[in-house]
Structure 1
Amino acid sequence: MPTRSVSQARAASICAVVSACIAAGLAHAGEQRMDLAELSIEQLLSLEVYSASRFVQKVSDAPSSVSVVTAADIRAFGWRTLADILRSMRGLYLSNDRNYAYLGARGFLRPGDYNTRFLLLVDGSRINDAVYDQASIGTDFLVDVDLIERVEFVPGPGSSIYGANALFGIINIITKNGRDLSGAQASIEYGSQGMRKARASYGMRHDDGTEWLLSVNDFREDGADLYFPEFDTPAANGGVARRMDYDRAQNLLMKGAAGPWSISVAHSERTKGIPTAAFSQVFNDPRSRTVDTRTSVDAVYRARLAADAEVTSRIYWGRYDYMGDYVYGAPVPTVNRDGARANWWGAETRFVMTPVEGHKLVAGAEVQRDYRRRQFNFDIEPFLARLDDQRAGNRLGVYAQDEFTLRPDLLLNAGVRYDYTSSTGDSNINPRVALIHKASASTTFKAITGTAFRAPNAYELYYDLRAAGGQKANPSLKAERVRTNELSAEHYFSPDARLTASLFRNTVSDLITQTVDPADGLLVFRNLDRVKAHGAELELERAWSSGARLRSSVSWQHAVDDVTGTAL
């Protein structure tokens, strides 16, 4: 039976990304040339970022070696999914099983992990769902890539400010506003393997500051016919999966802002064919597919309390539905439906203030109520119920951080957060400290240490298909934790060329691992491993006045089981 676990993936110990692009085209050549040529690399790369500290700060001041990709980068390099964008960032690598895209970092890409060790945000609001804690980055991502203003990736532990799932990094997607469109837009795309996409958008900003945006798109790809030698028999169509690798997705985004208020509504639906006969299915059966549906509603209130203090309050609601149809049995195949329904709401209040010269404080509290975590499994015809598990849970967190200017060239950033998770009854306290030295106008050094955690999700805790010989639940799981030490340096050779280097060492304890119980042969998640990883990352970025742009990075990563010495 389907257990929704990832096939064993190998993470390369040395991964490199080298890409270059000449920003030239027909309709948009002049616009791209202006974006890349008239701005120096310092303006493009030393952007103000939000994600590292939950307030706007320069990249050089952030307590992490932040990577930023802008809308101009996305347009110039032609990236079409969030996974494409993340693949271009140093230290990250991807795997794809022709159903979902999986993200790895610093030596970790685990079987059974649906990107749960990354926290995914859209405009600062948590998007990881309430059943799998999944960060969706492929065509199942919530927002059309054409509406992304920039992507901020904050590597390393982020639980001191964001709580659970910020184990290996924070991905924050900042979307465009009405003023970025200033009218109507329409686009049509065609590509190989039957790819076509249509988008219609309208955005406007009025003289009183009110603005709004509405965008819809439809994406379809037929996919290629794929040959699998494992199924090369006459009964299995000679090992060729025909019209099985299709992908269909639709997205809706609505945003509005008036005075101190802003609201956004996002919705996505994705249907993906499964050509691989995953989980021992019948090969080349067109009924094999997954359907992912997501909805997010986010309302934010921002107000300045005084010249040196402001407050931000947020309330949000989310929904995620997953359905997988898997075909088993011969000579009369049966469709087994595996699925989940998740609903949650949350609220947060955050204060940013500078009460004393040289100190910038951020403090806040947030709560999330996962009021529906349902997992189910049944055979469609004849109907046979195999699983119907319904749960609820709460998450609570409070945090504080101080950015202390020790002297003009030296910053100390220190923060800590307390989290409580009702599913496990665990409390977690996670600090982060960063010392930032601006050796010169062109060179910055950072020393960062901190911890983070990931609470087990409802799938790992409660999914139980032991009667069907698949997977059994383990409600005694506890959170996994990571301790990170990192050194980084950033140097500008010139206003249009930047080099970034990082050295890191991670120690992960109580790592949640999917394994086979020798007593009954069933899959089960357990806190088994203690893992150590270390490595180095190097990135070079360069822009030329002609509009050409270079992004090049190389990473060396080595992760081993601390008990057996086996490489991950």
Structure 2
Amino acid sequence: MLRIRTVCKLLGFCAVLGGGASLSLAQGVDRVASEEDYFANVPVVLTASRLEQPLNEAPGAMTVIDRNTIRLSGARTVADVLRLVPGYFSGGWNGANPVAAYHIPVDDYGTRNLVLIDGRSVYSSAYLGDTHRGMLDVMLEDIERIEVLRGANSAAYGANAMFGVINIITRHSADTIGGEVSLTYGDSGIQDRRARLGFGDERASFRLSVGDQRDSGYLNVFDDLSLSHLHGRADFKPTVRDDVMLTAGVTYQSGGEGFAVDAYNPLHTVYTNDVYLNGQWRHQLSDADELQFSINYMEDWRKDVAYSTDAFHILMDYGGIGERTNMEVQRKTTLSPTVRTVVGVGYKDEKTRSLPLYATDDWQSFHEERVFGTLEWRFTPTWLLNAALFVGQHSQAGLYKAPRLMLNWLPTPEHTFRAGVTESMRTPSLSELNADIRYYLGGVLVAQEFAARGLARPEKLRSQEIGYLGRFPNQNLTLDVRLYNERLVGFIGVEKYDNAATGIDDVKDYMNKPGFEIRGLESQMRWKPFEGSEIWWNQSFSTLDWENPVLNARRERRPPQHASTLAWFQRLPGQFQLSVVYQFLGSMTWRDQRDWLAAAHRTDVRLAYPFRVGRAKAEASLTVQSAEGSRPFFLPRRNLEVGRRTFMNISMEY
């Protein structure tokens, strides 16, 4: 378990989150957060509103997954862990590109889902604004917990939080003093190796983690993955009122891509490289007043080159480099026993350079200034109002605003009813604004795939939701239910036009098109029926309707109407630990009816045995993923299948 002083430091991890160590109770009295707050049935969360608060007071539905559950799940990627979150589906167009996002068929690159690692957003500037690569920028063993807000949250975080926030919080370096090694081997080419070294004391502590992950991806497709990590974290406490965190790292990935029968997407390897620097400083002005400053930099590089396999052998290059610098200052204040606020300002500079993607060596860029604020007001002992507003000024897409109003009623400490409305936005990526992709043969322009004219404007998502969170102590059970209606306006899609500038017809551009409406019901139950046993049961039901009837007719990007996950974590006699995760996905399509997928099941089983070698803690485990065997996935017409995987892991920590 974490030391209490280290848990308190967790409050300062995220640049976009409030710090401090006080939280408001139902009676309106402040107290210091204890270790039990973070691991109780109603834990303290950091993600929903930039204010740390008990889960039952958060202005939205949330799922919290701690590091022990991550380990027990048998997952090898963050995308796989997120199968434990209602409404989140994991997949990817091939095994080298694992993706998990909310409403994933209409967001299969994760562009509308904000992913944070220690407060640093990890979407790509170089390509499509996607987050799937960014989720590979952390090793599971370094994660303390993952908090997921399900639903719109641009009111707190801005343009990329349209479909929710995945907040990954890594372990404080003071809690990883010593060393760790881990080895995983199995079929499907699985070879994972990891090592960690930590040292220091309470005033200054450091961690260095290195790792390598490999597998052969899906069946019947070239998508071998090789992923290498190097991450460092340092934590300092120069005074009793100050906490400083520094992180840095690099991730290098190579992954198979393409098909032998596709002349314009032939077999080739894509190389990517992410580098980041992240710094956060938290200063306690008083017991009720805190100032926080953060700055981070990310560079993502992509090499994606192939030649068409037809008679013309056209060079196709989708590579480039992206850079993002982000700065933010926020101040959190407790104005009275019933009122708390957080206000802040931020600046982001984002740019990318790619001759093949933009037909120029010049940098394509935008900058964004932002202001935000949240007010939490307990106007009676049982009624809590959360009002938030985010205003951004995008240099290319213009001004956008994202408000939220949420009301929580706590008739008893064990039961919370929630209702509210929010509006979220997604600004166009640099590709959607400026893409210019041309193909040459012998120095002569022969084709132009994209020529964006900068016409795309921000997408808007209008959401209404009601929810319930109940805790039943006598039964060791918690229940979370969310009923929602979300309407997306101005969906950014592809249209064709005749480009008079180059004389080429049917050139693609990104433009706002009719959107869609999603109505759904989600629930998550956690139950501890007896000592050493825990059961998670998630359900999601949804219906999507496009405003364009043609898209409805061809079942465009149709999510499953029903999905369910049942996880059972059981401690057995003799110290053995059994985990079984069963998932059901109703019929769906990632593209259109040509690739309609029938309903599918997946069962993962993990058996582990912890033991000691001298003073070192060790564990050996055997995991079988998709125990039922292979099943069609993503593009059935290309014979893509996910196969059964079996692998063993042994880890030692000293």
Normalised-by-shorter TM-score class: 0.7 to 0.9
- Alpha-carbon deviation of 1:302? 0.6
Moved more, 466-475 or 214-223: 466-475
Match of 2:518 in 1: 533
SS for the counterpart of 1:349 is strand
Moved more, 509-518 or 551-560: 509-518
- Alpha-carbon deviation of 1:211? 1.6
Instruction: Return closer, same or farther for 1:550/1:205 CA change in 2, 3 Å cut-off.
Output: farther
Counterpart code for 1:439:
P
- Alpha-carbon deviation of 1:133? 5.8
Which residue among 208, 212, 226 is the counterpart of 1:248? 226
Instruction: Return closer, same or farther for 1:44/1:366 CA change in 2, 3 Å cut-off.
Output: same
- Alpha-carbon deviation of 1:185? 0.4
- Structure 2 residue 63 is matched with structure 1 residue 84: no
- Alpha-carbon deviation of 1:326? 2.5
Instruction: Return closer, same or farther for 1:314/1:219 CA change in 2, 3 Å cut-off.
Output: same
SS for the counterpart of 2:192 is strand
How much identity, in percent, do the aligned residues show? 22
Match of 1:24 in 2: none
- Structure 2 residue 462 is matched with structure 1 residue 483: yes
Which residue among 514, 519, 543 is the counterpart of 2:528? 543
Which residue among 253, 263, 267 is the counterpart of 2:246? 263
Structure 2 residue runs without a partner (length 5+):
1-34, 238-242, 439-444, 500-504, 557-654
- Structure 2 residue 256 is matched with structure 1 residue 273: yes
- Alpha-carbon deviation of 1:193? 1.1
- Structure 2 residue 326 is matched with structure 1 residue 351: no
Match of 2:352 in 1: 373
Moved more, 43-52 or 88-97: 43-52
Counterpart code for 2:532:
G
Instruction: Return closer, same or farther for 1:314/1:223 CA change in 2, 3 Å cut-off.
Output: closer
SS for the counterpart of 1:172 is strand
- Structure 2 residue 49 is matched with structure 1 residue 53: yes
TM-score (norm 2): 0.72
Match of 2:420 in 1: 448
Matches within 5 A, 1:4-23: none
Which residue among 440, 461, 471 is the counterpart of 1:492? 471
Counterpart code for 2:423:
T
- Alpha-carbon deviation of 1:541? 1.6
SS for the counterpart of 2:86 is coil
| Residue pair 2:38, 2:44 contacting (<8 A) in 1 also | no
Equivalents in 1 of 2:130, 2:45: separation in Å?
Answer: 21
Equivalents in 2 of 1:101, 1:301: separation in Å?
Answer: 33
- Structure 2 residue 321 is matched with structure 1 residue 324: no
Match of 2:6 in 1: none
- Alpha-carbon deviation of 1:254? 0.6
| Residue pair 2:456, 2:511 contacting (<8 A) in 1 also | yes
- Structure 2 residue 208 is matched with structure 1 residue 211: no
Which residue among 251, 254, 272 is the counterpart of 1:292? 272
- Alpha-carbon deviation of 1:223? 4.4
Match of 2:538 in 1: 553
Match of 1:512 in 2: 492
Equivalents in 2 of 1:132, 1:395: separation in Å?
Answer: 19
| Residue pair 1:482, 1:509 contacting (<8 A) in 2 also | yes
Equivalents in 2 of 1:145, 1:307: separation in Å?
Answer: 34
Match of 1:524 in 2: 509
Instruction: Return closer, same or farther for 1:500/1:276 CA change in 2, 3 Å cut-off.
Output: farther
Which residue among 379, 398, 406 is the counterpart of 1:406? 379
Match of 1:116 in 2: 111
Q: List per-residue Cα deviations over 1:267-288 (Å, max 9, x = no partner).
A: 21111012535974365x4xx1
Match of 2:401 in 1: 429
Equivalents in 2 of 1:335, 1:196: separation in Å?
Answer: 34
Moved more, 210-219 or 436-445: 436-445
Moved more, 409-418 or 94-103: 94-103
Match of 2:391 in 1: 418
Equivalents in 1 of 2:451, 2:260: separation in Å?
Answer: 22
SS for the counterpart of 2:81 is helix
Which residue among 52, 74, 90 is the counterpart of 1:94? 90
- Structure 2 residue 365 is matched with structure 1 residue 392: yes
Equivalents in 2 of 1:277, 1:147: separation in Å?
Answer: 38
| Residue pair 2:391, 2:400 contacting (<8 A) in 1 also | yes
| Residue pair 1:42, 1:496 contacting (<8 A) in 2 also | no
Equivalents in 2 of 1:464, 1:80: separation in Å?
Answer: 37
| Residue pair 1:516, 1:524 contacting (<8 A) in 2 also | yes
TM-score (norm 1): 0.82
Instruction: Return closer, same or farther for 1:46/1:147 CA change in 2, 3 Å cut-off.
Output: same
Counterpart code for 2:85:
M
Match of 1:75 in 2: 71
Equivalents in 1 of 2:131, 2:458: separation in Å?
Answer: 22
SS for the counterpart of 2:450 is coil
Matches within 5 A, 1:33-52: 43-52=39-48
- Alpha-carbon deviation of 1:524? 2.4
Instruction: Return closer, same or farther for 1:198/1:44 CA change in 2, 3 Å cut-off.
Output: farther
Match of 1:159 in 2: 154
- Alpha-carbon deviation of 1:140? 6.2
Q: List per-residue Cα deviations over 1:78-134 (Å, max 9, x = no partner).
A: 11101111122001123321142344424x6337x5211011111122222334463
SS for the counterpart of 1:128 is coil
Structure 1 residue runs without a partner (length 5+):
1-38, 227-240, 379-384
- Alpha-carbon deviation of 1:41? 12
Counterpart code for 2:196:
S
Counterpart code for 1:398:
V
- Alpha-carbon deviation of 1:53? 1.4
SS for the counterpart of 2:60 is coil
Equivalents in 1 of 2:41, 2:129: separation in Å?
Answer: 29
Equivalents in 1 of 2:263, 2:309: separation in Å?
Answer: 10
| Alignment length (residue pairs) | 500
Instruction: Return closer, same or farther for 1:329/1:503 CA change in 2, 3 Å cut-off.
Output: same
Equivalents in 2 of 1:418, 1:224: separation in Å?
Answer: 42
| Residue pair 1:133, 1:457 contacting (<8 A) in 2 also | yes
Equivalents in 2 of 1:274, 1:548: separation in Å?
Answer: 42
Counterpart code for 2:82:
L
Match of 2:610 in 1: none
Instruction: Return closer, same or farther for 1:280/1:131 CA change in 2, 3 Å cut-off.
Output: same
Counterpart code for 1:271:
S
Instruction: Return closer, same or farther for 1:195/1:349 CA change in 2, 3 Å cut-off.
Output: same
- Alpha-carbon deviation of 1:562? 2.8
Equivalents in 2 of 1:63, 1:398: separation in Å?
Answer: 20
SS for the counterpart of 2:335 is coil
Instruction: Return closer, same or farther for 1:152/1:251 CA change in 2, 3 Å cut-off.
Output: same
Match of 2:431 in 1: 459
Equivalents in 2 of 1:333, 1:544: separation in Å?
Answer: 63
Equivalents in 2 of 1:41, 1:353: separation in Å?
Answer: 21
